[in-house]
Structure 1
Amino acid sequence: MEPFRLTASQAQAKFKDGSLTVEQYAQSLLDRVAARDSTVNAWAYLNPELVLERARELDAIPPEKRSPLHGVAIGVKDVILTKDMPTQYNSPIYVDDAPKIDAASIQTLRANGALIFGKTTTTEFAATVVGPSHKGPKTTNAHNSKRTPGGSSSGSGAAVGDLQVPIGLGTQTVGSTIRPGSFNGIYAMKPTWNSISREGQKLYSLILDTLGLYARSVEDLKLLLDAFQLVDDEPEEPFTLKGAKLALLTLPTPEWPEPGPGTAAALKKGTELLRAHGAEVEEITLPDEFRSMYKYHLQVLSGDGRVAFLADYYGAKDKMHGSLIDHVENKDKHTRQDQLKAFDELAAMRPKIDAFASKYSAIVAPSVLDEAPVGLENTGSAAFCGPWTAMHTPVVNIPGFKGENGLPIGLSVVAGRYRDQYLLRVCTEIGKVFEGEGGWSR
């Protein structure tokens, strides 16, 4: 197998047995980027000489002193500070801007031996909306260059989906990690909110933004959770599908759009597969008390955006996307009382969603409306991702299904807050079924 095709865990096994060096691995990844970059365009910044220099430094570390993420190549969304690479936010305000500091997440990854590979593309400030004036990157879907990779974590999703790196960092404020995961046919995780430091990460919303994780296996996601020291309160116990009670959430509330044909088929097939493997699947809709969740979510974003983009508005309003200006100028005319109500209503829902989730082994739900839309100006609807962001729960997109055009579609699996490691054990078993029998393969 060519080294670039290896997952992070597979590459690490070869580093340990001496059959592959980090430099050889990095060169294979760089060769893959060189062959595909003109089509996928996943990188906002990539310096091959720097990558190889760092790889050689890692190879020079004696085996007994190597860290848990030794040699793992990671693409970093370009809203997260990196001391040896520019951080440009896909904004004309920050072209070639290069603060000499690592975000806390990057410091943690480097301390654990990771190879920070390059900066991946993003929509402007990871916050711009879709539409004719959308300021999006030129990144394309890993499986069809005429379709979007999703956003705002466009480059990270596409780079991992296209085998250019095994791991990617994204962020999620509504659906910016889960949606690209589904569109590019990879695992994507939004951990429990505030379980990983966001220091040194450009924040759109202080109470919603969460670091996102991309990989091609659950095993690789666990490498990251362990490095970030995400630990559940409950003891680690094996999970089996046989006898598990799963909730199937086909439509969160009546306010959400209907799934497209590809997602509807994935939900149907996913249910059949889970039942065939011995799980009990109960089709549900969220109770009425969650009906206004999305409305409050958007109100919080509107208010938080007024704060997040104010400094750039004062300094370079003429270089900002119109939707960001609308936030600062409060185009929707939300009052402070509106903002308080949105904060408080969402906060009140979170323990209720935990209690609801505790009735089941996990919740299975749609990740996206359908396959990735045609074109690059529309990164797709985030409606189905929003509930789990607003509720601060961990969620994983599991690939395995395909739509009418043969493109990947994933399903989301959700657990209550701070049950991230438990969720990965669930996803390990569900992932075997969906990837093995769902009908789509890379």
Structure 2
Amino acid sequence: MDKHRGLYANSIAGLSVKMKDGGVSPTELVKDLIARIERIDKDLNSFITFNRNALVIAEEREQELQFGKYRGPLHGIPIGLKDVIFTKGIRTTMGSEIFKDYIPAKDAFVVEQLKKAGAIIVGKLNTHQFAYGPTGDRSYYGVVANPHDKSKMSGGSSSGSAAAVAACLCYGALGTDTGGSIRIPSSFCGIVGMKPTYGSISKRGVYPLSWVLDHVGPMTRTITDNAIMLNAIIAYDKEDPDAIYRKPEDYTRLIGKDVKDIKIGIPEEFYYEDLDAEVDTCIQDAIKCLERLGVKMTTVNIPSMHEFSEAHKVILRSDAYAIHAQNLLDYPTKWDDEVKERLITALDTKGYDYAKAMRTQKLAKQEYREVLDTVDALITPTMSILPPNINERHTGKDKSDEHHIRWTITKLTAPTNLSGFPSLTLPCGFSADRMPIGVQLIGKEFDEAKLYQIGYALEQALLVEVPVFD
């Protein structure tokens, strides 16, 4: 591998050591990425806006290093942001025509944290319009292609974040997750994605889709890099009404620790129903791999899973319509037809439906807590299917909304948006056509470090080699 290729294919963890020792500079990284984005992204469409000041900031980070100021492992590292996360002075569009010229006056809280950690915001990444869709092919700025096969969906709604990280156009990215929007594209594009515990990461300055279900989280190429990013963005924000105070902790602290005698639950129902055969094979191989490492597997049961799926749908469409009702009135023609049609379905939802769904959310928290009191984590597929073709909308002959592909795509991820429990996806193999397959680990509330411990052990044992795209 030549030096140029080796630079952009590096991990955050690897680069941070070189950065601290003077073996690589922030300006070198940014210049390298600019050239690569210009060469690669015309076919992927992962970026909406590039940060014109990225090189200037890189020079500032370089000067800090020269004066002995090292902010930590993200110092001088180029990071991308899903374009629903507000950035001071940089256009933030939500993937929509309505906000095509919107420039926020303030950074989102998570952006402030990244900047404190020394990261360089390299640009804003494409998203399904207003983050309302898991397919990643409904943005005002065009479809985001899957780097592994440009005819396939990248997944959504954090489509640009996943594609850019997979294609080595940035070293990590932030996404948002309301029904799986970090984990879906991470699985489809073959990277690591974490949806942390609800309330652990501030959502202030992130355009909402659902007040009740939204999460912000990191997307990277490795488990260690993901934990490094989580360390940077988790901080208590007293101005976020949903923020939960936690003492600072190091989410890398268990990485590399032995997983022998850790106990993992395999849900008997729901998660393993109607799986694509190749997905099933990869997940079973991942389970066997963990067993060889000494992990204890046991079957578990979460009784009300189908109720949780329905409750998630009710809350999502109700919140989404409430958030966008004024935009629908003010800008009736500036919508993707599919997104607008989906928003309007909320008008059929009754108030008592929402009340029942909120009650079911409490049940979801209770049932996940009960089962996770008996095991350290759960293991499931992230997706039940392989990445579909771009613009594919139904997997069978039935063309009703009930059988829309969005429900197949979000089936295995949405339940932990309802419960708020942390969920991590990582690559566990490929299909015969070399499309990525992801495995999902679900943990106790605020137990992200344990998920990283298990995920790292699996990552190192499986050694899934994700290609570097040229």
TM-score (norm 2): 0.86
Q: Would the alpha carbon gap of residues 129 and 228 (structure 1) be closer, same or farther in structure 2, given more than 3 Å must change? A: closer
Moved more, 78-87 or 332-341: 332-341
Q: Would the alpha carbon gap of residues 194 and 136 (structure 1) be closer, same or farther in structure 2, given more than 3 Å must change? A: farther
Is 2:43 the counterpart of 1:43?
no
Q: Would the alpha carbon gap of residues 340 and 157 (structure 1) be closer, same or farther in structure 2, given more than 3 Å must change? A: same
- Name 1:242's counterpart in structure 2: 260
- Name 2:15's counterpart in structure 1: 11
User: In structure 2, what is the Cα distance between the partners aligned to 1:155 and 1:304?
Assistant: 24
- Name 2:55's counterpart in structure 1: 52
Is 2:422 the counterpart of 1:394?
yes
Secondary structure of the corresponding residue to residue 427 of structure 2? strand
Is 2:427 the counterpart of 1:411?
no
Superposed counterparts of 1:278-427, under 5 Å: 278-284=294-300, 286-322=301-337, 324-326=339-341, 329-331=344-346, 333-376=348-391, 381-427=409-455
2:147 to 138, 142, 145: 142
1:172 to 143, 157, 177: 177
Residues 67-115 of structure 1, C-alpha deviation per residue, up to 9 Å, x if partnerless? Answer: 1221121110011111131011111111122122211111111111110
- Name 2:286's counterpart in structure 1: 270
User: In structure 2, what is the Cα distance between the partners aligned to 1:239 and 1:168?
Assistant: 26
Q: How far did 1:427 drift?
A: 1.6
Secondary structure of the corresponding residue to residue 84 of structure 1? coil
Q: Would the alpha carbon gap of residues 315 and 383 (structure 1) be closer, same or farther in structure 2, given more than 3 Å must change? A: same
**Aligned partners of 1:175 and 1:382 also within 8 Å:** yes
RMSD: 2.5
User: In structure 2, what is the Cα distance between the partners aligned to 1:144 and 1:10?
Assistant: 28
Instruction: Count how many residue pairs are aligned between Structure 1 and Structure 2.
Output: 436
User: In structure 2, what is the Cα distance between the partners aligned to 1:213 and 1:377?
Assistant: 27
User: In structure 2, what is the Cα distance between the partners aligned to 1:152 and 1:287?
Assistant: 27
1:29 to 20, 30, 33: 33
Q: Would the alpha carbon gap of residues 282 and 331 (structure 1) be closer, same or farther in structure 2, given more than 3 Å must change? A: same
Q: Which amino acid letter does the alignment assign opposite residue 55 of structure 1?
A: A
**Aligned partners of 1:77 and 1:155 also within 8 Å:** yes
Q: Which amino acid letter does the alignment assign opposite residue 297 of structure 2?
A: V
Secondary structure of the corresponding residue to residue 25 of structure 1? helix
Secondary structure of the corresponding residue to residue 64 of structure 1? coil
User: In structure 2, what is the Cα distance between the partners aligned to 1:33 and 1:313?
Assistant: 34
User: In structure 1, what is the Cα distance between the partners aligned to 2:280 and 2:62?
Assistant: 47
**Aligned partners of 1:128 and 1:135 also within 8 Å:** no
Q: How far did 1:133 drift?
A: 7.9
Moved more, 241-250 or 298-307: 241-250
Q: Would the alpha carbon gap of residues 319 and 377 (structure 1) be closer, same or farther in structure 2, given more than 3 Å must change? A: farther
Q: How far did 1:371 drift?
A: 2.2
Q: How far did 1:135 drift?
A: 6.4
**Aligned partners of 1:42 and 1:154 also within 8 Å:** yes
Q: Would the alpha carbon gap of residues 299 and 166 (structure 1) be closer, same or farther in structure 2, given more than 3 Å must change? A: same
Q: Would the alpha carbon gap of residues 359 and 117 (structure 1) be closer, same or farther in structure 2, given more than 3 Å must change? A: same
User: In structure 1, what is the Cα distance between the partners aligned to 2:257 and 2:369?
Assistant: 19
Q: How far did 1:246 drift?
A: 1.3
User: In structure 2, what is the Cα distance between the partners aligned to 1:362 and 1:194?
Assistant: 20
**Aligned partners of 1:8 and 1:73 also within 8 Å:** no
User: In structure 2, what is the Cα distance between the partners aligned to 1:131 and 1:160?
Assistant: 15
Secondary structure of the corresponding residue to residue 150 of structure 2? coil
Q: Would the alpha carbon gap of residues 183 and 364 (structure 1) be closer, same or farther in structure 2, given more than 3 Å must change? A: same
Q: Would the alpha carbon gap of residues 439 and 56 (structure 1) be closer, same or farther in structure 2, given more than 3 Å must change? A: closer
- Name 2:459's counterpart in structure 1: 431
**Aligned partners of 1:402 and 1:408 also within 8 Å:** yes
Superposed counterparts of 1:113-152, under 5 Å: 113-128=118-133, 137-152=142-157
1:64 to 64, 68, 83: 68
Moved more, 38-47 or 242-251: 242-251
Secondary structure of the corresponding residue to residue 147 of structure 1? strand
Q: How far did 1:328 drift?
A: 5.6
Q: How far did 1:305 drift?
A: 1.4
Secondary structure of the corresponding residue to residue 267 of structure 1? helix
**Aligned partners of 2:282 and 2:429 also within 8 Å:** yes
